Structure 1
Amino acid sequence: MIYNTKHLDDSCLMALYKKMLLPRLIEEKMLILLRQGKISKWFSGIGQEAVSVGVTMALNNDEYILPMHRNLGVFTTRNMPLYRLFSQWKGKASGYTKGRDRSFHFGSQAHKIVGMISHLGPQMGVADGIALASKLKNKKQITAVFTGDGGTSEGDFHEALNVASVWQLPVLFCIENNGYGLSTPTNEQFYCENLALRGLGYGMESHVIDGNNIIEVYSKVQELAVSMRNSPRPVLIEFKTFRMRGHEESSGTDYVPKALFDLWKTKDPIDNFEQFLKSEHILTGALIKEIKANFTQSIQDNLEYSFSEPDITSNETKELDDLFQADDIEIVNNTTISIEMRFVDAISNALKQSMTRHTDLVIMGQDIAEYGGVFKITESFFEQFGKERIRNTPICESAIIETAMGLSIAGIKSIVEMQFADFISSGFNPVVNLLAKSYYRWGQNADVVIRMPCGGGVGAGPFHSQTNEAWFTKTPGLKVVYPAFPYDAKGLLNTAINDPNPVLYFEHKGLYRTISQKVPTDYYTLPFGEASIIKKGEQITIISYGMGVHWALETLEKHPNISADLIDLRTLQPLDTETIYNSVKKTGKAIILQEDSLFGGISSDISALIMEYCFEYLDAPVKRVGSLETPIPFAKPLEDQYLPKTRFEIALSSLIAY
């Protein structure tokens, strides 16, 4: 192996050697502990240390790195306390996830490291978001993100590369091509000679580097980092390397030809560099022994410290309290004049006032800048706030949601507009597995609002009419808001933007230009978790939200003899159970109306809660009314039959007469 070290002094060469050696010695110890049953799982990076260490050493300490399982060298090079790493792998309280996640599924803001989730691809888009924040703040920083050869086949990889290229984001995409995705060789994963060629399709500068040559890795990344800071752009590097262990230890290596192992053993990054340093009289045998002895002792001391820590204890209150970052949101009351506003105008007004109030708030979505969005909610926004903050996006829901997560990590709030709520399915994974779980896992909040134009009754068919809130009310870690009136729409959207946690904000497009109401002109907020009692009565409790509230109102107007409490939930997570229970205990009957198809919707949970906590007060079974168990159809007669409005009127009268 040839090392071009002319521009590097001896202290730098020694540092590179030591930074590679430490993770190797830790891994060798972990493999012993794994065989002893003292840790549960291990993903080995033995043979790939030069990539992790070279990239990390070439970056500044205030620049983010997003590593993967085999990048222990990133964590150790950033000087993370070893006892905390060991406690992380043992599931101890002083680990970075407090026992809630394992191995390298964590991050540390103090060390500017953002760990992966098992779905691999989403961290690419997160890197885009962090780099976008750097560019918006003119910090002249780059972001490095790792993936394996297998991960380059995921859609998230391609979406993230495209976004980074279109927006010219300073992201260093690092592919560790170690020849196998678990047991599948590279020739069964892609049909090109080098993965670096994939960058060319996005107009991106690409390089192929010997990932086992620490000098080549460090020097090239350092050169690129300097250039990218001064001229922001994405760069793709394919590091050719090899892992000398299985995908994880239990999988073994029987699928790898022995000749391949023999070949790569001769290319070991540490052995080769050690021999080079000895030949240059920078290292001696005695010094090597001394360095290894010091590292071994440090590893043992930190292991003993970690192993002596008591096993983690379960605390239900603590677990629930750590689901969301404490918001401490001050409710801003409205004290100004009100004017008549349509639902759509109230949302637009809230966005505009929040953009002024939060001067770095970013809105992202398809066609939202010059075009103003398909519903014209952000019309003329780009003229006031600029295209840096009102950002048209490519059609890539997954990458844009991940970008929003990256912005949050870098301290910037963002709003993502789904063109239609139906399209969230293309970004489902980062919502439920990244945004929802991040704070609980390692304390990193996701300061993201996703706006969801939804709902039927407008003849838009199966792909533009769903009201899919139940997909998210089921997922711990998400807040779900669904207003029915312009006044609530504005106040709750402002609260959602202030909230440091991920919020799914549903807007029924059938209400956009059909409902008007007096709305304060100035900025105000409304609290989450507080339902609104629209009407008061004695006979029955009607519980609904969104368009369902208006259907209930129309039905009650047709039947003035019915005396009902009509509850508009307004937020579905958190849910105002107190208002529900108090009303049901008063009336003795409850009917829940949702636009969503019936089975598995939120009405099922509300019904179960009423049965569990109000059973002795009930004079009749709890009734649920929802749409048919089919996709929502296009033709008006079919759509009218699908929606529950008519069935609600029949069910309400039946329950009153029970």
Structure 2
Amino acid sequence: MSNDFTSKPLEFNIENLEKDKLIQLYKNMLKPRLIEEKMLVLLRQGKISKWFSGIGQEAIAVGVTMSLNKDEYILPMHRNLGVFTVRKIPLYRLFAQWQGKASGFTKGRDRSFHFGTQQYKIVGMISHLGPQLGVADGIALANKLKENNQVTAVFTGEGGTSEGDFHEALNVASVWQLPVMFCVENNGYGLSTPTKEQFNCEHIADRGKGYGMESHIIDGNNILEVYTKVSKIAESIRENQRPVLLEFKTFRIRGHEEASGTKYVPQELLDLWAKKDPIENYQYFLKEKGIIDETSEVELKVNIAHEINEHLEVALNEDQINADVTNELNDVFKEFEYQEVKHNSNSNKIRFIDAISDGLKQSMERHDDLVIMGQDIAEYGGVFKITEGFVKEFGKDRVRNTPICESAIIETAMGLSIAGIKSVVELQFADFVSSGFNPVVNYLAKSYYRWQQNADIVLRMPCGGDVGAGPFHSQTNEAWFTKTPGLKVVYPAFPYDAKGLLASAINDPNPVLFFEHKALYRGIRQEVPIEYYTIPLGEATIIKEGNDITIISYGAAIHWALESLEKNPDISADVIDLRTLQPLDSETIYNSVRKTGKAIILQEDTLFGGISSDISALIHENCFEYLDAPVKRVASIESPIPFAKQLENQYLPKDRFEEELKSLLNY
């Protein structure tokens, strides 16, 4: 960090601030400092497990938070204690959170500042840092759609600006002109790595030019500069909606976290920044101006210390959290009371793709604030034309083309959910979800369990092979997600199911990955009700009944199984279409296997680690005494899916299934 900046003395400009406000700024900085000093003692005593110190950076959290209205969201990091104290969160709840107790915000399920609270309009970080930037975009988008003239503030460190999420979030915010302040605390080091090894530009604020975004550099140790400048910027954003990049120059006096220490920091640099301590300098200024004196300063400290000790006593005396398996499992998903919507007898014979389009359109009509997002989905109608004509009917606010940034758009959907708006995100191909994998499995899947914030999101996943599209447009990657608690996975095989299940997925307040096999889009037709209707998630269907064997499958593979039975009319089989993979309808499977005594599972995915392995294990564990043969799994070969037709035919299990079926029947 530049010595020119560190050697510059703090110069305070009162401007038009009243005495009470000047004192409030001091008190609001002093409180997190005194709390931190207490926490460092408790850390040494083993009463908290970890601590990320913000000592020396209090002016940023306090100044930014005080510049916002209480009903405006703020997304802090783990060094922004001042955000929580300025928002007047009861200290005993913070202390309980850090000790993993029930009166904290995560019921002991997460630590430190990894939590949010709708009551105080705070959305906490996850350890991956970057995703909260995109989440802030989503909250800002909701504000823009609601026309409430609110601004959102989100924090990151200079290290976090190296992540791809930073680029994606700023790019989306700029393209959509979202009312969000990106607050970068440039404190010199990402853990032990100095800024010169993190990025090759003088100021992070310079990056704003590349995004067509206004940016400012602010002295992060000067509380009056932070508060006055950010207040003016926030008010300007409310009047003229746009994103702004703010770089706060500051320094981390203590280690990344207490265990890491500061040996990697030159002592002369520590000494320079010690002279710029935001609290000591401001305290001296207030005394010099006669705004406070020794007596009032001591009184402030005594009152804060008394509050800390009083609330700490409450937290320390609280019982350790009670571990209860039922409570844990019940909090993985937000409760959803399924409401059946029946249809009349009016129907049309339509394609699978038309059923998806109808279901999505009718949901847009039913939920008048539902937003759909994806690449090329607006005027172009998406690469598969599922949303063709939607812009004309619903407008571009609700049917949004996105830049190519799967991670930021999934995060934006999360932000919309936090602000109370449902969304559907179209992944152009299911393969591309890997570019947004982190927010799916670490943010969407875990938020409700961690702090009871649901992710009201459907990710549409065009998937599957048998279309000659090669390794990056043909994967059926449901197994990436079926093992992640907190995600629901739906995979219909027929137009009727696709429409009804999509409606239910959108109604469900939890994150749902909705797989749509591309080979079925225009390859299958069925009578489908014209009206809106729902089908419950988690219920399989028996589409053919028999006594000799149970065939279990889903997606396009169901049709391969049915083709094999058409060729062999003498085979009497139960055919179970799972329809939903998470939650799994295990009882339908067990009841059928107990009847037939044999089971074969067909999946398009490669064999090892696929869902057929879990289903096989469940059958062996729950139906072993009824089995007349080992459970058989049939799947694609253990390679990426190839392009050339003869290679793809060899890869897929559709031609091998009939042979394996007959072999099991003859066991």
How would you bin the TM-score normalised by the shorter chain? over 0.9
The answer to whether 1:527 aligns with 2:563 is: no
* 1:559 maps to which of 568, 573, 582: 568
CA–CA separation in structure 2 for the residues paired with 1:331 and 1:181: 52
- Corresponding residue for 1:422? 431
- Could you tell me how far 1:647 is from its partner in structure 2? 1.2
CA–CA separation in structure 1 for the residues paired with 2:324 and 2:190: 38
Matching residue's letter, 1:358? H
SS in 2 for 1:196: helix
CA–CA separation in structure 2 for the residues paired with 1:335 and 1:259: 79
- Could you tell me how far 1:163 is from its partner in structure 2? 0.1
1:427-468 Cα offsets, whole Å, 9 max, x none, are 000000000000000000000000000000000000000000
- Corresponding residue for 2:34? 25
CA–CA separation in structure 1 for the residues paired with 2:288 and 2:345: 79
The answer to whether 1:649 aligns with 2:661 is: no
SS in 2 for 1:510: helix
1:302-334 Cα offsets, whole Å, 9 max, x none, are 000001000001100010000000111211111
CA–CA separation in structure 2 for the residues paired with 1:491 and 1:167: 32
CA–CA separation in structure 1 for the residues paired with 2:327 and 2:537: 21
CA–CA separation in structure 1 for the residues paired with 2:340 and 2:373: 26
1:328-367 mapped onto 2 (5 Å cutoff) = 328-367=337-376
- Could you tell me how far 1:200 is from its partner in structure 2? 1.0
1:425-504 mapped onto 2 (5 Å cutoff) = 425-504=434-513
- Could you tell me how far 1:241 is from its partner in structure 2? 0.2
* 1:256 maps to which of 265, 272, 295: 265
1:457-491 Cα offsets, whole Å, 9 max, x none, are 00000000000000000100000000000000000
- Corresponding residue for 1:67? 76
- Corresponding residue for 1:382? 391
Matching residue's letter, 1:536? E
- Corresponding residue for 1:622? 631
1:361-415 Cα offsets, whole Å, 9 max, x none, are 0000000001000000000100000011000000000000000000000000000
- Corresponding residue for 1:137? 146
The answer to whether 1:537 aligns with 2:542 is: no
CA–CA separation in structure 1 for the residues paired with 2:217 and 2:584: 53
SS in 1 for 2:446: helix
* 2:47 maps to which of 38, 49, 53: 38
SS in 1 for 2:547: coil
* 1:573 maps to which of 565, 582, 603: 582
CA–CA separation in structure 2 for the residues paired with 1:6 and 1:344: 62
* 2:91 maps to which of 77, 82, 96: 82
Matching residue's letter, 2:144? K
CA–CA separation in structure 1 for the residues paired with 2:290 and 2:613: 74
SS in 1 for 2:602: strand
The answer to whether 1:162 aligns with 2:171 is: yes
SS in 2 for 1:645: coil
CA–CA separation in structure 2 for the residues paired with 1:334 and 1:606: 33
- Could you tell me how far 1:32 is from its partner in structure 2? 0.4
CA–CA separation in structure 1 for the residues paired with 2:539 and 2:185: 50
1:90-130 Cα offsets, whole Å, 9 max, x none, are 00011100000000000000000000000000000000000
* 1:276 maps to which of 253, 260, 285: 285
- Could you tell me how far 1:336 is from its partner in structure 2? 3.9
- Corresponding residue for 2:7? none
- Could you tell me how far 1:6 is from its partner in structure 2? 2.2
CA–CA separation in structure 2 for the residues paired with 1:629 and 1:313: 45
Contact 1:131 1:143 in 2 (8 A): yes
CA–CA separation in structure 2 for the residues paired with 1:262 and 1:566: 74
In the alignment of these two chains, the number of paired residues is 658
CA–CA separation in structure 1 for the residues paired with 2:11 and 2:464: 63
CA–CA separation in structure 1 for the residues paired with 2:12 and 2:287: 13
CA–CA separation in structure 2 for the residues paired with 1:648 and 1:94: 55
CA–CA separation in structure 2 for the residues paired with 1:628 and 1:214: 62
SS in 2 for 1:299: helix
TM-score between both structures, scaled by the size of structure 2 = 0.98
- Could you tell me how far 1:175 is from its partner in structure 2? 0.3
CA–CA separation in structure 2 for the residues paired with 1:472 and 1:176: 34
CA–CA separation in structure 2 for the residues paired with 1:366 and 1:135: 21
CA–CA separation in structure 1 for the residues paired with 2:452 and 2:620: 36
CA–CA separation in structure 2 for the residues paired with 1:418 and 1:101: 30
SS in 2 for 1:451: strand
CA–CA separation in structure 1 for the residues paired with 2:78 and 2:320: 24
- Corresponding residue for 2:16? 7
Let me know the Cα RMSD of the aligned residues. Answer: 0.5
The answer to whether 1:589 aligns with 2:589 is: no
Q: Runs in 1 of length 4+ with deviation above 3 angstroms?
A: none
1:101-116 mapped onto 2 (5 Å cutoff) = 101-116=110-125
1:486-522 Cα offsets, whole Å, 9 max, x none, are 0000000000000000000000010000110010100
- Corresponding residue for 2:131? 122
1:322-352 Cα offsets, whole Å, 9 max, x none, are 0000111211111241111110000000010
CA–CA separation in structure 2 for the residues paired with 1:176 and 1:253: 18
SS in 2 for 1:104: coil
CA–CA separation in structure 2 for the residues paired with 1:640 and 1:407: 42
- Corresponding residue for 1:188? 197
Structure 2: gaps of 5 or more residues: 1-9
SS in 2 for 1:255: coil
The answer to whether 1:613 aligns with 2:631 is: no
SS in 1 for 2:410: helix
The answer to whether 1:47 aligns with 2:47 is: no
Contact 1:336 1:522 in 2 (8 A): no
Matching residue's letter, 2:449? Y
Matching residue's letter, 1:591? I
SS in 1 for 2:656: helix
TM-score between both structures, scaled by the size of structure 1 = 1.00
Matching residue's letter, 2:570? N
CA–CA separation in structure 1 for the residues paired with 2:399 and 2:196: 42
The answer to whether 1:295 aligns with 2:304 is: yes
SS in 2 for 1:192: coil
Contact 1:544 1:569 in 2 (8 A): yes
CA–CA separation in structure 2 for the residues paired with 1:81 and 1:199: 37
Matching residue's letter, 2:238? R
Contact 1:373 1:379 in 2 (8 A): yes
Matching residue's letter, 2:122? I
Once structures 1 and 2 are overlaid, which stretch shifts more, 334-343 or 482-491?
Answer: 334-343
Matching residue's letter, 1:201? G
- Could you tell me how far 1:234 is from its partner in structure 2? 0.3
Matching residue's letter, 1:462? P
SS in 2 for 1:511: helix
- Corresponding residue for 1:601? 610
Once structures 1 and 2 are overlaid, which stretch shifts more, 250-259 or 330-339?
Answer: 330-339
Contact 1:397 1:427 in 2 (8 A): yes
CA–CA separation in structure 2 for the residues paired with 1:6 and 1:411: 39
SS in 2 for 1:208: strand
